[in-house]
């Protein structure tokens, strides 16, 4: 059971559709990866160490970053999305909730979460887990649709209609949570996207 979400309209979580399992076979055609290269720049790539793509789904982001880290691991709750990731690229893939990552503390030199933070059940616990597995001297990047823009507010409204359990947070709120964990945080915005960059010293 996913943590910390009250489904709309009194529905139980078990009765709600798993949109990502349903969309897995066609997800990459429906949602192409971002055209910009801000992620690699903000994540401080390339690195020799390991990179975690949390909520990485079919690996559409991990495939782009595979040559920029010593090893890339995708973690996602949707087994069907991970099946697509394994089929398309030779990347490590682990089925798990972002709130319960099965990795030792400090496993990854870089952690990224792209367009997935608003889908997790418990956002606070997710950030604490991502922070836990980030090694000292490492860097984390959370890339999210910028809820301060009208276009993203429309998307958020549409996802609520589709019962997608999405909860969009302002980039400043995400940054504040990470600062409370001890991160050195910076923000960047471009059009409808926000990036929260957290460095661990």
For 95-138, how does the pLDDT look when each residue is reduced to its tens digit (9 = 90+)? 999 999 999 999 999 999 999 999 999 999 999 999 999 999 99
As to burial, measured by CB atoms within 10 angstroms (0-12 exposed, 13-18 middle, 19+ buried), residue 44 is: middle
Whether the pLDDT of residue 60 is over 90: the answer is no
Q: Which residue has the higher pLDDT, 75 or 20?
A: 75
Q: How far apart are CA 177 and CA 175, in angstroms?
A: 5
Cα 154 to chain centroid, rounded:
20
Q: How far apart are CA 142 and CA 39, in angstroms?
A: 9
Whether the pLDDT of residue 19 is over 60: the answer is no
Mean per-residue pLDDT for 183-188?
98
Mean per-residue pLDDT for 74-86?
85
With a pLDDT cut of 70, the percent of the chain lying above it is 80
Structure confidence at residue 35 as a pLDDT band (50, 70, 90): low
Which ranges in 36-133 belong to alpha helices (H)? 38-42, 62-65, 79-88, 123-133
pLDDT of residue 12: 30
Mean per-residue pLDDT for 10-32?
44
Mean per-residue pLDDT for 81-94?
80
Domains, the chain:
8-199 (3.40.50.150)
CB atoms within 10 A of CB 77: 22
pTM higher than the cut 0.85: no
Contact 107, 51 (CB under 8 A): no
| Range with top average pLDDT, 30-34, 159-163, 171-175, 191-195 | 171-175
- For the chain, the average pLDDT equals 84
């Amino acid at each position: 059971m996913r943590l910390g979400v009250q489904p709309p309209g009194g529905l139980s979580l078990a009765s709600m559709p798993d949109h990502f399992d349903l969309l897995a076979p066609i997800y990459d055609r429906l949602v192409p990866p971002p055209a910009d290269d801000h992620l690699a720049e903000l994540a401080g790539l390339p690195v020799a160490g390991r990179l975690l793509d949390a909520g990485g789904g079919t690996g559409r982001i991990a495939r782009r970053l595979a040559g920029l880290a010593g090893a890339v691991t995708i973690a996602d709750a949707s087994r069907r999305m991970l099946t697509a990731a394994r089929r398309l690229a030779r990347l490590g893939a682990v089925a798990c909730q972002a709130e319960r990552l099965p990795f030792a503390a400090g496993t990854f030199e870089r952690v990224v979460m792209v367009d997935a933070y608003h889908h997790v059940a418990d956002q606070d616990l997710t950030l604490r887990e991502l922070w836990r597995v980030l090694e000292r001297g490492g860097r984390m990047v959370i890339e999210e649709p910028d809820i301060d823009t009208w276009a993203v507010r429309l998307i958020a409204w549409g996802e609520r209609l589709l019962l997608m359990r999405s909860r969009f947070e302002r980039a400043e709120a995400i940054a504040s949570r990470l600062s409370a964990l001890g991160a050195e945080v910076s923000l960047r915005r471009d059009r409808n996207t926000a990036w929260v960059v957290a460095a661990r010293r």
